[in-house]
Amino acid sequence: MPDSKEALALAKANLTPAIKKEQFAVFVFGPALPEDNPKPEGAASSHPDVARHAQYLRFLTRERLREVGFAADYGEAEEILKFWQKLFSSPNAAASEILQARYVCGAIVIYPASVGSIAELGLFAHKGEIAQKTLAIVHEAYGADGSFFRQGLLEMFTIFSGRREFVDYSNHDACVNEAVRFVEGQYYRQMDEVADLKWLTARHLGSVFDHALERRSD
């Protein structure tokens, strides 16, 4: 009988993930980044402080996700916008971001701390197939806020299955760890769904089910 090390080696030799991490695309949204983006110090006690921390968190989240193997990028990356505009006649940046989020991204992380990033959250909030793979990390001070952003937009976002977490933006590790946990969870869920689909296809090879899958992929 093989020991645990041999069994693990055998598993590694015979199993491959249904989706590789480098194939799992992640968008990271938030305030536009300045050319110089040093780590901010101190509490996020005012709106400018919150926005400044969000800029750094956006950068740090993309870098951390890349470090663990995911294909993470910013939503407004020029090459992404050009791709949808050239091949799918996308009329503007908003339409390109929706197309990328819907058809390519496996997960989306957003720090809604500026007018633009709040508008992007609003863009995704009522689209269930996008909202359900999106995490909004909101500064904890807004958790009990009476604004339309808190009681309107964020509530609508969760109605359409978006996930919302209130975290202190000055605690950079806590925010980024929340983002990484979410993306890893979305990756595992999607990988499991693909594996189930492959298993069903193999089990019913040549059946009516198999032919239905073929028609669906045409």
**165 assigned to some structural domain:** yes
Distance CA(89)–CA(72), nearest Å, equals 24
**147 assigned to some structural domain:** yes
Give the residue, 14 or 85, on which the prediction is more confident: 85
**pLDDT above 70 (res 74):** yes
Q: pTM of the entire structure?
A: 0.81
**202 assigned to some structural domain:** yes
**15 assigned to some structural domain:** no
**7 assigned to some structural domain:** no
**180 assigned to some structural domain:** yes
User: Residue 153 has which token pair?
Assistant: 């937009």
Is residue 71 classed exposed, middle or buried when 0-12, 13-18 and 19+ CB atoms within 10 A define those classes?
Answer: middle
User: Residue 140 has which token pair?
Assistant: 């904890």
**Number of domains comprising the chain:** 1
CATH number of the domain at 95, please: 3.40.50
Range of the domain at 94: 22-217
**124 assigned to some structural domain:** yes
Q: For 7-53, write each residue's pLDDT tens digit.
A: 666 555 555 666 789 989 999 999 999 888 999 999 999 999 999 99
**138 assigned to some structural domain:** yes
Q: For 158-210, write each residue's pLDDT tens digit.
A: 999 999 999 999 999 999 999 999 999 999 988 877 655 554 455 545 554 45
